[in-house]
Amino acid sequence: MKILHVIPYFYPAWAYGGPPRVAYEIARRQVKADHQVTVLTTDAYEMDERLPSGMFNLEGVEVIRVRNLSNLVMWKFHFCTPLTLLRYTDINSFDVIHLHEGRTLLNALVLIKVKYGRKIIFSPWGTFDYNNQLIFFKKIFDKLFLQNYKKNL
């Protein structure tokens, strides 16, 4: 099976908490089960450091890392700003697309390109809580992209 994981931060960006580690472990185990696994992510790493963008292989997982427009916005708000998202891969060539995190521009851009009927797994990893300092940004994101999420999931 061809599986695409979409997550704004991935191995070794452990500073972003549990989601990158969970996605890494899931992807590694899927490769061990003989699936073809690709991860679409950004260059997010630390507050003042990025990972190299481009394509590379990590333990059998093909990783496509796109550059963020602003590393500062990514670090402070966990809001990715991918520059060149879909030129690297055909989103609809995958059997399953696993979207990690809830409110990410990366997920929204992928969902715009997904054809109806594609199998999608959605793991929000706790990003739906409105009781924190990012409530204003979450409401704006919901207004702009939530309908597309509902249509595709």
| Mean pLDDT across 64-93 | 82
User: Taking 80 as the threshold, does the pLDDT of residue 140 lie above it?
Assistant: no
The pLDDT, as a whole number, for residue 79 is 77
The model carries a pTM of 0.84
| Element containing residue 102 per DSSP (H, E) | none
Instruction: Say how many domains are in the chain.
Output: 1
Q: How far apart are CA 125 and CA 127, in angstroms?
A: 6
Domain that holds residue 112: 2-152
**Cβ atoms of residues 114 and 99 within 8 Å:** no
Q: Which residues of 15-31 are buried (b: 16+ CB within 10 A; e: fewer)?
A: ebeebbeebbebbbebb
The pLDDT, as a whole number, for residue 23 is 96
The pLDDT, as a whole number, for residue 87 is 66
Higher pLDDT: 56 or 83? It is 56
